[in-house]
A = this chain, B = another copy of it.
Amino acid sequence: MSSSKTDPGRFFEDFRLGETIVHATPRTVGEGERALYIALTGSRFALASSDEFARRLKLPSAPLDDILVFNLVFGRSVPDISLNAVANLGYADGRFTAAVYAGDTLSARSEVIGLKENSNRETGVVYVRTTGVNQRGETVLSYVRWVMVRKRDREAPAPQASVPQLPASVAIESLQLPAGIDFARYDSTAAGSLYYWNDYEAGEKIDHVDGMTIEESCHMSATRLYQNTARVHFNQHAEKSGRFGRRIVYGGHVISLARALSFNGLGNAMRIAAINGGRHLNPCFAGDTVYAWTKVAEKVALPGRRDGGALRLVTFATKNRPCADCPAEGSEVILEFDYTAILPRRS
């Protein structure tokens, strides 16, 4: 009865290895996104909060929070990549390059780098490299994710399986810091943490202590802010007969909350340089309280600079379970997020 101008999203058999999909809705970002991100997550990292703090580090103004940028780029890709996804399986080889400033316009595209039908022939795994660029064409973020996508038609022929080689972590040599950044005048009092790169050790575990309860309105507002349209987050009328009987919290909001909670113990981990990997281990719903803890996986000097260093961090988030004993598995663990952060280094 109605026309077919609505977008049903791509099914597994619609993806072609090597094709590049240009995503819609370029987005100018600014003070509104910054304030909303703070209001929805409680993030307190000084670099994303203060132009003055950023200028001491020789940046022009406060860059937008890295996970906000991740979620905005991810949001652009959803209508093309994951509208018919069953599950978001993982992330790899994510690199934050140019910093994003208020007034920048973000666009995104994804290249299909792998396709593998599942043996049940109902679904397949799609690997994409998604790239976010600013209005000057500079890459602000590039990462690989893979998702399980439904087939429209079980009998549709599948392409030959092709699975990309993905690094276990991003090589330290390929990390890129915001242009011009200089930590010589870093103000740790303003940042709210006494602990420099020097003070962390590989193997160290940090319980971030605090918990944040999620409300429907909060996770939906965050997910809409990113213009992420995945239906499972918004439509209670449909989800009441869905897999869980309720709306699912967007996994990127859980990453945001875990990162915001990690301020307590990692306040100087001011810049995320890489996403090495990430998995959403269990679903999260409104009413759940998110806690987090972090393991310092590696401590690495930055080639050619003495003012800052890198930590490879693995943050786990749980629901309704404090993290004093640093749990890494079980039904209450909802996120494992492996990333590389830059901290100032005491000389």
Q: Please, which residues of chain B bring their CB within 8 A of the CB of A51?
A: 28, 103, 105, 135
Q: Is A179 an interface residue (CB 8 A)?
A: no
Query: Contacts A33-B35, A224-B41 hold; do A205 and B2 have CB atoms under 8 A apart?
Result: yes
- Structural contact, A24 and B190, CB atoms closer than 8 A: yes
Query: Which of the 9-residue segments A117-125, A160-168, A226-234 touches chain B?
Result: A226-234
Given B6, B107, B206, B323, which contacts A264 in the complex, CB threshold below 8 Å? B6
Q: Is A169 an interface residue (CB 8 A)?
A: no
Given B7, B35, B235, which contacts A212 in the complex, CB threshold below 8 Å? B235
Q: Please, which residues of chain B bring their CB within 8 A of the CB of A221?
A: 39-40, 217-218
- Structural contact, A225 and B6, CB atoms closer than 8 A: no
Bound CA span A102–B32, Å: 11
Interface residues of A in 219-261 (CB under 8 A from B): 220-222, 224-225, 227, 229, 231, 234-238, 247
- Structural contact, A265 and B5, CB atoms closer than 8 A: yes
Q: Which residue of B lies closest to A293 (CB)?
A: B2
Q: Is A328 an interface residue (CB 8 A)?
A: no
Q: Which residue of B lies closest to A135 (CB)?
A: B52
Bound CA span A269–B33, Å: 25
Given B31, B193, B213, which contacts A30 in the complex, CB threshold below 8 Å? B31
Q: Is A25 an interface residue (CB 8 A)?
A: yes
Q: Is A46 an interface residue (CB 8 A)?
A: yes
Query: Contacts A5-B206, A36-B32, A206-B6 hold; do A213 and B191 have CB atoms under 8 A apart?
Result: no
Given B25, B38, B50, which contacts A225 in the complex, CB threshold below 8 Å? B38
Interface residues of A in 239-296 (CB under 8 A from B): 247, 264-267, 287, 289, 291, 293
Q: Please, which residues of chain B bring their CB within 8 A of the CB of A231?
A: 210-211
Q: Is A44 an interface residue (CB 8 A)?
A: yes
Q: Please, which residues of chain B bring their CB within 8 A of the CB of A325?
A: 1
* Closest beta carbon of chain B to A318's beta carbon, Å: 10
Given B2, B40, B247, B264, which contacts A326 in the complex, CB threshold below 8 Å? B2
Given B105, B229, B234, which contacts A50 in the complex, CB threshold below 8 Å? B105
Q: Is A90 an interface residue (CB 8 A)?
A: no
How many residues of chain A are within 8 Å of chain B by beta carbon?
89
- Structural contact, B25 and A46, CB atoms closer than 8 A: yes
Q: Is A189 an interface residue (CB 8 A)?
A: yes
Q: Is A26 an interface residue (CB 8 A)?
A: yes
Bound CA span A51–B25, Å: 11
Q: Please, which residues of chain B bring their CB within 8 A of the CB of A213?
A: 216, 220, 234-237, 247
- Structural contact, A26 and B53, CB atoms closer than 8 A: yes
Bound CA span A171–B40, Å: 39
- Structural contact, A289 and B237, CB atoms closer than 8 A: yes
Q: Please, which residues of chain B bring their CB within 8 A of the CB of A181?
A: none
- Structural contact, A190 and B27, CB atoms closer than 8 A: no
Of A39, A189, A322, A324, the most chain B CB neighbours within 10 A belong to A39
Contact with B along A194-215 (1 / 0, CB 8 A): 0100011000111111111101
Q: Please, which residues of chain B bring their CB within 8 A of the CB of A174?
A: none
Contact with B along A298-311 (1 / 0, CB 8 A): 00000000000000
23 pairs from A and B in contact (CB 8 Å cutoff)? A2-B207, A5-B195, A5-B265, A6-B265, A7-B265, A24-B44, A24-B189, A24-B190, A25-B44, A25-B192, A26-B53, A28-B51, A28-B52, A31-B32, A32-B32, A50-B105, A210-B231, A210-B234, A210-B235, A213-B220, A216-B217, A217-B218, A235-B289
